[in-house]
Amino acid sequence: MFFDAPGPKPLASADAEVAIAALLVRVARADNHYDLAEKQRIDSILARRRGLTMEEAAECRAAAEMIEAEAPDTVRFTREIKDRIALEDRLGVIAAMWEVTYADDHRDPDEETMVRLVSGLLGIPDRDSALVRQKVLEGLGSAGL
């Protein structure tokens, strides 16, 4: 499995994206309600991040769903990402997580708490996460959520 590599050598791009996809799935499932809007948003994010077709993105999401379901904790994903992905890209991961959080046009405290937890684990200060969240909400046209 891609998390077994010792030391801080970079993850392959595809492996890093699977870890990120698993985090997106984990956020979407945080409220025990994982719906089509969230799946479609994850697919859209994955397609946009790596230039995948929607079919390829859906396959990546499906693999991430299995990996996420088997992972005992969130730290497993975040440790690998923090050690191997630049800060700028980690901010993009947080933005994607906020997008998934609001994909169903519902503000859920469990999903928001999960994003805040992951932000901290990825070394992103609360203030930066809040700024990213605000930009995402503005981009979604959902500032009133």
Compute the mean pLDDT over every residue in the chain, rounded to the nearest whole number: 86
The average pLDDT across 23-35 equals: 95
Residues 6+ apart with CB under 8 A from 143: 134, 137
Sorted by where each begins, the domain ranges of the chain are 13-140
Instruction: Convert the pLDDT of each residue in 31-86 to its tens digit.
Output: 999 999 999 999 999 999 889 999 999 999 999 999 999 998 898 888 888 878 89
Residue 1 has pLDDT above 50, yes or no: no
Q: What are phi and psi of 135, to 5 degrees?
A: -65, -40
- pLDDT-derived band at 142, boundaries 50, 70, 90: low
107 versus 129: which is more confidently predicted? 129
Neighbours of 109 (CB within 10 A): 9
Domain 13-140 in CATH 1.10.3680.10? The answer is yes
Residue 13 has pLDDT above 60, yes or no: no
Residue 5 has pLDDT above 90, yes or no: no
Residue 7 has pLDDT above 60, yes or no: no
Q: Give 50: exposed, middle or buried? Use CB within 10 Å, 0-12, 13-18, 19+.
A: middle
Residues 6+ apart with CB under 8 A from 115: 27, 94, 97, 98, 101, 129, 133
Residue 120 has pLDDT above 70, yes or no: yes
Task: Give pLDDT, residue 18.
Answer: 81
Distance CA(39)–CA(28), nearest Å, equals 8
Query: Lowest-confidence range among 8-17, 32-41, 106-115?
Result: 8-17
The average pLDDT across 107-127 equals: 94
